[in-house]
Amino acid sequence: MAAAAAEAAAVGGDPDGGPAWPWAQAPVFSYSERDLIRSGVRWGSSDSGSGSRFDAALLSAWEERMDGGCFRYRLPSRGLPSRRLPGPRRFVAQLNPQRATERRRPQEILSLRQPFEPERFNFTRIPAREVLFQLGRGGGCPEPGEAEAQAEASALLIVNVSPLERGHVLLVPEPARGLPQLLTRDAVLRALELVFLSSEPAFRVGFNSLGAWASVNHLHLHGYYLGHRLELESAPSRPLGPSEAGSGPGRRRLLPVHLLRGPPGRGLLVYTDGGDLPAAALTLHALGGLLVRRSLAHNLFLCRGCPPGDPPARPDSRDGVRIVLWPRRSCFGLKGEGEGEEEAFKVALCELAGHLPIKNPQDYSSLTEEKVLETMEKYLLPEEEFSQLVSEVTELLKD
């Protein structure tokens, strides 16, 4: 408890776990292995948007906050204007100008390893009404109101007050610890569990590293529902390296890594059917660690998808989860805040996956696939640098 008290003081909360914590009275959504959905997920199988217990809880609480004026703007009741751009990539463009104008001003980011700064905005400072619930893994969690639960909440779901889409939330692992925006193994595992808790192929989870348009340096991932198929769900890929890293005692078991084919390529793909979530989290954590050591900013995207291959053997399957990590050029400092403002969209959380939130009606109506790929190319690693990284990933898989 002494360690928790020190961490609490560092982020400005009550070291005794009192009501200063915004999640102190939040309900707990408890889940266990039996709640994870590993079969029967298909587009068109459920149009209600509340197919699982998790979907129902999230969307009900989220809609309640929307009706209560918790957000900076309302999403249209009929959904955001959306269109598919002509071309083989089938990008999904959505007109969402208010997100560009009404969102919180991003923090100045100077380094991929920038430490957490408790005096700046962080998620311990949000109003209590923005917390949807605490996440309790394993089927049980201390009741809200108990000091340990308040001070050491293992993970929160809070609303994103500038939503991309319906159900847009932030997953905040271990909020009281004041973790910087660097992926931890448990954060990846939590993200995977959220996707498997949903029966909706529309539910996606993403992450922006520092230097890749993360706007708050407090560990968080995004989750939201996008009711449009993405080509990423079945995009072809080729395997890289062995299926296991080492075979002796104490060796790490890493899942196979695949390379996405075609633009927007230069992404590293890991697939899981849900039976190996700790190994999937370990694999992504190892890949992310390599990128941090290389000082490479990155975007991560998780979605329901088919097993990898070229071509995929079961392209319509959505029972498993595809996890794609894109290393990219960094956007740091004051220049990074303004960079890309003249473009129709920023390359951040979801754009490389094929979902394009557009800032204004003119770009929304005129944007082409060619222009999208041209914009993405500015932020992806050059081919030569990516090839060098692939060599290092291959060596990583052998360790």
Q: Catalytic residue positions? A: 220
pLDDT at 247 over 60: no
Task: Return the pLDDT at 144.
Answer: 45
367-396 pLDDT tens trace: 999 999 999 999 999 999 999 999 999 999
pLDDT digits (tens, 9 = 90+) for 225-240: 999 999 999 999 999 9
- Cβ neighbours of 252 (radius 10 Å): 15
- Cβ(319)–Cβ(273) below 8 Å: yes
Report the alpha-carbon distance of residue 112 to residue 109 in Å, rounded.
8
Q: Give dist(CA 252, CA 255) in Å, integer.
A: 10
Answer positive or negative: Cα dihedral of 347, 349, 354, 355.
Answer: negative
For residue 341, the model assigns a pLDDT of 62
Q: What is the arithmetic mean of pLDDT over 251-278?
A: 90
Residue 114 DSSP label: P
pLDDT tops 60 at residue 209 = yes
**2-398 has which CATH code?**
3.30.428.70
Domain-by-domain residue ranges, the chain?
2-398
99 pLDDT band, cuts 50/70/90, is confident
Break the chain down into helix, strand, coil percent, rounded to 5. Answer: 30, 20, 50
Asked if pLDDT for residue 84 goes beyond 60, the answer is yes
Percent with pLDDT over 90 in the chain: 75
